[in-house]
Amino acid sequence: MKFFHAADIHLGAEPDKGFPWSKERGREIWDSFRRLIRQVGEEKAGLFLIAGDLFHRQPLMKELKEVNYLFSTIPDTKVVLIAGNHDYLKRESCYRRFSWAENVFCLWGEQEPCVEFPDLGAAVYGISYDRKEITDPLYHHIRPQRRQPLEILLAHGGDRTHIPFDRSVLERSGFSYIALGHIHKPEVLAKDKIAYAGALEPIDKNDLGPHGYIKGVYGNGGIRIEFVPAAVRSYIPLPVKVKESTTQFSLEQALVRLMEEKGRNNLYRILIKGEHAMGTEFDMVRIMKLGNVREAVDQSHTVYDRESLMRQYRGSLIESYVKRFDGRELSATEEKAFVYGMEALMASREE
Ligand SMILES: [Mn+2]
């Protein structure tokens, strides 16, 4: 039997508010989810597990209808979900009064945190959030009840304020597989046994690395899982080193080339390092407008030519400052001190 494990879809999120691609990202998250459901159907999976935060916030009725329609297109797959800290079961949540397609099972469960599928030989357990934060280690107390050969736990959290847990306690709990959600970076905590699927799409600029879902097979040999990358875009850190000869336009050209190489669809976090010439100051507004730049930080330092400084600022405080460092090789620390002092003096001149 094949099963799919996804988490943290965050439907309804519009990442990078205020950036030109924000609305499009919102649509892309929905499209990614649709594609995943199509894949689940094509591979005739027995189970589709969603480990919390299907929605970024409280779901709207019309959104639940859309999601339910999509689930109804894979009637041979049992869909099991829990609510996470983002889409937690508020008292007036639409989740509570929605009537789902026959193949959809929500573990909203106060009394019965388990659903059984004898035809698959599987039982799925889970706990949903009824508030934003839960500090009790609830998963330490839930044990499989040997109802079916395959016993799966759907769990959401793992940090201090979201149902903290000890990996070794979960490992010893007796579940065949623990499908985790909440942490957006995919990670296997115990081989073929405990794993975070990670967010289907990156939801903010700190969600670096690949994103997608987990595909599993359950058979004679037990369980085997693999991570499947599926996100349409990634946030990519882009460090770039400048030198004395670098100009605004040469830097822009280099950045455009780098971003094309790494994929023009991705979103970039540019970090400028190295040294720039005296008088060069990079125009960060222009760099932000190069397209798909999420962030641009300039950490480059000025290279000061001491002789021309003294000539240029004869009779000023700058000349006497530079003179103190003149006529000898500076150590790395002295050079740094000199540059910081120069930057302070230059900044005070501009005021
Ligand atoms: Mn979460």
Per-residue pLDDT at 188:
98
Same domain, 196 and 247: no
The total number of structural domains in the chain stands at 2
179, 135, 176: which is closest to 156 by C-alpha? 179
CB of 310 within 8 A of CB of 326? yes
* Pairing status of strand 122-126 against strand 114-117: antiparallel
pTM for the predicted model, two decimal places: 0.89
CB atoms inside a 10 Å sphere around CB 319: 15
Per-residue pLDDT at 271:
98
Same domain, 19 and 137: yes
Phi, psi torsion values for 308, nearest 5 degrees: -70, -25
Ligand 1 mean position, distance from CA 51 (Å): 9
Ligand 1 mean position, distance from CA 18 (Å): 23
Per-residue pLDDT at 113:
83
Q: Name the burial class of residue 7, with classes exposed (0-12), middle (13-18) and buried (19+) by CB atoms within 10 angstroms of its CB.
A: buried
Which whole-number Å values give the CA distances from 349 to 282, 307, 313, 316, 317, in the listed order?
A: 19, 19, 11, 11, 10
- Tell me which of 183, 200, 229 is where a domain ends: 229
Per-residue pLDDT at 216:
98
Ligand 1 mean position, distance from CA 283 (Å): 38
Per-residue pLDDT at 111:
63
Q: How far apart are CA 136 and CA 313, in angstroms?
A: 66
Q: Which domain holds residue 210?
A: 2-229
Ligand 1 mean position, distance from CA 39 (Å): 24
- Tell me which of 229, 260, 282 is where a domain ends: 229
Ligand 1 mean position, distance from CA 53 (Å): 6
Query: In CATH, what number is assigned to the domain containing residue 73?
Result: 3.60.21.10
Per-residue pLDDT at 132:
96
Ligand 1 mean position, distance from CA 89 (Å): 13
Q: How far apart are CA 118 and CA 219, in angstroms?
A: 15
Same domain, 142 and 199: yes
Tens of each residue's pLDDT in the chain, 351 residues: 999 999 999 999 999 999 999 999 999 999 999 999 999 999 999 999 999 999 999 999 999 999 999 999 999 999 999 999 999 999 999 999 999 999 999 999 766 689 999 999 999 999 999 999 999 999 999 999 999 999 999 999 999 999 999 999 999 999 999 999 999 999 999 999 999 999 999 999 999 999 999 999 999 879 999 999 999 999 999 999 999 999 999 999 999 999 999 998 999 999 999 999 888 899 999 999 998 999 999 999 888 888 888 888 898 999 999 988 877 788 889 888 888 898 888 888 766
Cα angle 73, 78, 81; round to 5: 100
Nearby residues of 202 by Cβ (< 8 Å), 6 or more positions away: 15, 184, 208, 211, 231, 233, 234, 235
Per-residue pLDDT at 309:
87
Same domain, 221 and 312: no
Same domain, 139 and 261: no
Per-residue pLDDT at 110:
63
Same domain, 282 and 223: no
Ligand 1 mean position, distance from CA 324 (Å): 57
Ligand 1 mean position, distance from CA 25 (Å): 19
Residue owning tokens 């594609």: 35
Same domain, 150 and 299: no
Same domain, 217 and 87: yes
* Pairing status of strand 194-196 against strand 177-181: parallel
Ligand 1 mean position, distance from CA 273 (Å): 35
- Tell me which of 229, 256, 282 is where a domain ends: 229
Phi, psi torsion values for 53, nearest 5 degrees: 55, 45
Per-residue pLDDT at 203:
97
Ligand 1 mean position, distance from CA 56 (Å): 9
Ligand 1 mean position, distance from CA 344 (Å): 44
Ligand 1 mean position, distance from CA 234 (Å): 20
Ligand 1 mean position, distance from CA 204 (Å): 13
Same domain, 55 and 113: yes
Same domain, 159 and 282: no
Token pair recorded at residue 240: 């770039």
Rounded to whole angstroms, the maximal C-alpha distance in the chain is 91
Ligand 1 mean position, distance from CA 166 (Å): 17
Per-residue pLDDT at 112:
64
